[in-house]
Structures are given as structure tokens and as C-alpha cells.
Amino acid sequence: MFRVILKDKFGERPINLSRLVRIMYTQELSGSIRQEHIEWWKRYWIKPIYLEILYPKKGWITLVKVFREGKPSIRVITTPTSSSKRELLVLNKLYGEEEYREQKRKTYRQFDTRRMQK
């Protein structure tokens, strides 16, 4: 399907997106959501999951946890290309999310250094 490199995960090596979802969330990647059909999927939407990637483009991809036909599943948001193929929708910035993750990382490092000093 799609090969990505996650920032600070899996040794920053390329990994298949469906395998990544299976490892990190213990669920199968059930497919994709076309960007132009997001409104239709909103009624099944549980929560978005943002992952920072370095490849194929540097930025953030969105995985969506949806509940449809009586079971939850995870899907990735894609965008159309010039041909009939699809590619990942990569966002350049997540407004507010980057600062939240950086603050969380700093707090964890402070806690970890205090623990090591004891």
C-alpha cells in the first residue's frame, strides 16, 4: 500500500503503513478515505490520529478511527493525483498539535532526568 518513515519510530526506517497500524494500534488498516469524501465519513468518525512522517514528504498524515457496520476500523486520508492513483494527504503543519507534542516530550525528559538522579 503506502510506505512511510515515521519520525522517532522504528529506527526511522521505511515501513508499510498497514503493518505500522497493525503494530501500533493492534487493528488492521481497512482502507482509505478520499479527501473529497470526508464529509460523508464524518458521521462514522471516532477520532483522528496524527503521525509525523519524514517520507514520502515531510509532514503529518491523518489516520481516522471510524465505527461502521458494527465494528471500529482505521483508515488513512488520501488525495487524488493526476492519474487514477491515490497518494497520502500530507499536512505541512498541525496548528497547536506540534507545540503540544513538544511540550509533552520536554515534560517526559524532565521527569526521566529526575528519576535518573535519584
Q: Quote the pLDDT of residue 113.
A: 58
Flag whether 107 is in a domain: no
Flag whether 79 is in a domain: yes
Domain tally, the chain: 1
Q: Quote the pLDDT of residue 62.
A: 93
Q: Which three cell numbers stand for residue 15?
A: 515501513
Flag whether 111 is in a domain: no
Q: Quote the pLDDT of residue 23.
A: 94
Q: Quote the pLDDT of residue 80.
A: 87
Residue 48: give the domain boundaries.
3-92
The 8 Å CB, 24+ separation contacts for 16-25 are 17/76, 21/63, 21/74, 25/49, 25/74
- Give average pLDDT by consecutive 10-residue segment, the chain, 118 residues: 90 94 94 93 92 93 93 93 86 75 70 58
Flag whether 78 is in a domain: yes
Q: Quote the pLDDT of residue 83.
A: 76
Flag whether 105 is in a domain: no
Q: Parallel, antiparallel, or unpaired for β 71-80 and 15-16?
A: unpaired
